[in-house]
Homo-oligomer: A and B are copies of this chain.
Amino acid sequence: MLLSKLVGQRSKDNPADAMIRSHALMVRAGFIKLVANGIWTLGMPAKRIAQKIEKIIREEMDAIDGQECTFPVAMPRELWEESGRYFSIGEEMVRFKDRNNRDMVLGMTHEEAAVHFARDNVVSYQQLPFMIYQIQTKFRDEARPRGGLIRVREFTMKDAYSFHISQEDLETYYQRVYDAYTRIFCRIGMKNVVAVKSDSGMMGGSISHEYMLLTPVGEDTLVLCKQCGYKANMEVAECQPDTVRDSVSQEPEEVFTGDVKEIIEVSRYLNVGAQKTIKAVSYNIKGDTRLVVCFLRGDLEVNEAKLKKAIRKDIVPSNLSDSEKLVAGNIGPLGLKLDDAILVYDASLKEANNMVVGANKANYHIKGIDVQRDLDIKEFYDIAKVPEGARCKFCGAPLGISHGIEVGNIFQLGTKYTKAMGMTVLNKEGASVYPVMGCYGIGVGRAIASVAEERCDDKGLNWPMAIAPWHVYLCPLRMDDADVREKAFNLYDALRAAGTEVLMDDRDASPGCKFSDCDLMGIPIRVVISPRSLSKGEVEIQLRDGSLKTNAKYDACIGVIQDIIKNNM
């Protein structure tokens, strides 16, 4: 490719809305262009990276017996009614009416389509297991697209669906996918990827893992144990309870706390640690007037994902002042009278004594509460976020908190979809059973952005050889020099004829301009031809990552370049 004809201008200006480096650099390099909020055009370089990632994904999916299909982007409402998700998914799913006034949706995931395709086609256990997948456009109407290709509304995703006669068979296959994913991220060139246990959210099912690229700009929070290797998304992370029970329980005593309401202020006002207070956090059931009031230690935070699981309901933030029966800032578990609120007590309270709680009247709290003695709590739930330094549930070592970008996920779905959509097969004994499903996703655009984020530097992008848009940036200096020009074009043609992917900077531009564009675009190998290098019959070869800088004879440089590509692939 000749740079002079490549559509996509390089720029020195960071886009105003770019909060992370990869976003700014992908735009500045001319790889992507914003069309609407969360909707991008991929220019040729980004498309080439995407295709290389897709090829790696495809090879690994085919290696675990995947059958590549294409499910529709637009689907009829009826299909999503069968699974129940037409109603359970909110406004992140695009709905529209076709010309005949029929309700349609844009696919954000394809469990329904996969079951629809498989259910009449597969009738016997002998046809199981199988996995069908696609690499295809999806639309998810994200409330807050951000980070360039990290979080978008329209994206290309590999989504795979496996079908099994039993949970055991699913688990065997799940491990194969787990390993295939590890290979994929390794081949793509991502280094700091870990698989963490996750909440399966709207997908249903139980066991699931997210593949997380560890990076400070990641929007997911992860809990990691360096000692035993425990890894989990904060949404489902657990730790050992660390409640310290005082040897002597004091008696309850009402104390005046006046205007002091925030738990951190109460703790300071009464001169007790926040871990000796019980705070109340309230929500509303989604689409309902009922309150959910959570009690947990004052130094902990509610983990809303865990809370939702505990009460099996969706929640929305609540404003306590709306409720006449509650005294905001003074809510406590002792003597709290609410008609139909759901009260949830965190496991951190189970052993606690000498706690400060709200008195359920203005200006007062109560000291000296012993949870077991004073409160009649039937069940405790783990609804708190794991704090940094908490002890690992498995080995007791202090847990660390990291951030990550979710670059892939795998789910054990169970029979949720096959049951809902009436897909059965005959088992060995001739009985009708629902196949057990797994589903497995990787976002292609997010993978591009994640690699970019992990590897970029102050000068620009820096692609691994395996997914670089081109391997070689051929950089003739002084295009007005006839010899340089001729030798450059000859080398360009020879490299292409030898199957090497080369971008030639054929512009009449300064060396500085050419070098900085080469660095910005992140092409792994820079080959410079100049009057000076040619005077020695040579070209200058340099790797973008700084690991190599050498000269090679012009006449022999193709072999040298091809060896470098091979050794860095």
A residues at B contact (CB < 8 Å): 1, 4-9, 30, 33, 35-36, 39-44, 46-48, 50-51, 65, 67-76, 79, 91-92, 94-96, 98-99, 102, 104, 106, 113, 116-118, 120-123, 126-127, 130, 132, 134, 136-137, 139, 141, 143, 153-154, 156
**A343 shortest CB reach to chain B, Å:** 33
Q: Which 10 A-B pairs have the closest CB atoms?
A: A96-B96, A44-B67, A36-B76, A91-B99, A42-B70, A41-B117, A39-B72, A99-B141, A9-B121, A7-B121
**A564 shortest CB reach to chain B, Å:** 24
Kindly state the separation between the CA atoms of A120 and B76 in the bound complex, as whole angstroms.
38
Q: Given that A44-B67, A44-B68, A130-B7 are known contacts, is A73 also in contact with B73, CB under 8 Å in the complex?
A: yes
Residues of B within 8 A of A127 (CB): 4-5, 7
Asked if B117 and A33 make an inter-chain contact with CB atoms under 8 angstroms apart, the answer reads yes
Kindly state the separation between the CA atoms of A43 and B120 in the bound complex, as whole angstroms.
13
**A49 shortest CB reach to chain B, Å:** 11
Looking at the complex, which one of B8, B73, B120 makes contact with A121 (CB distance below 8 Å)? B8
Asked if B35 and A47 make an inter-chain contact with CB atoms under 8 angstroms apart, the answer reads no
Q: Which residue of B lies closest to A93 (CB)?
A: B99
29 contacts between A and B (CB under 8 A): A4-B126, A5-B65, A5-B130, A7-B67, A7-B122, A7-B127, A30-B121, A33-B120, A35-B71, A35-B79, A36-B74, A39-B72, A39-B74, A39-B76, A41-B69, A41-B70, A41-B72, A41-B116, A46-B70, A47-B68, A47-B69, A48-B68, A72-B154, A73-B139, A74-B94, A74-B154, A99-B141, A99-B143, A137-B137
Residues of B within 8 A of A48 (CB): 68
Kindly state the separation between the CA atoms of A50 and B39 in the bound complex, as whole angstroms.
26
Asked if B154 and A73 make an inter-chain contact with CB atoms under 8 angstroms apart, the answer reads yes
Asked if A141 and B73 make an inter-chain contact with CB atoms under 8 angstroms apart, the answer reads no
Residues of B within 8 A of A106 (CB): 74
Asked if B99 and A92 make an inter-chain contact with CB atoms under 8 angstroms apart, the answer reads yes
Residues of B within 8 A of A102 (CB): 36
Residues of B within 8 A of A69 (CB): 7, 41-44, 47
Q: Which residue of B lies closest to A33 (CB)?
A: B117
Residues of B within 8 A of A156 (CB): 70
Residues of B within 8 A of A35 (CB): 71-72, 75-76, 79, 113, 116
Q: Which residue of B lies closest to A120 (CB)?
A: B9
Asked if A41 and B7 make an inter-chain contact with CB atoms under 8 angstroms apart, the answer reads no
Asked if B50 and A70 make an inter-chain contact with CB atoms under 8 angstroms apart, the answer reads yes
Asked if B33 and A121 make an inter-chain contact with CB atoms under 8 angstroms apart, the answer reads yes
Kindly state the separation between the CA atoms of A91 and B97 in the bound complex, as whole angstroms.
11
Residues of B within 8 A of A76 (CB): 35-36, 39
Looking at the complex, which one of B7, B40, B123 makes contact with A118 (CB distance below 8 Å)? B7
**A91 shortest CB reach to chain B, Å:** 4
**A130 shortest CB reach to chain B, Å:** 5
Kindly state the separation between the CA atoms of A42 and B67 in the bound complex, as whole angstroms.
11
Kindly state the separation between the CA atoms of A99 and B96 in the bound complex, as whole angstroms.
12
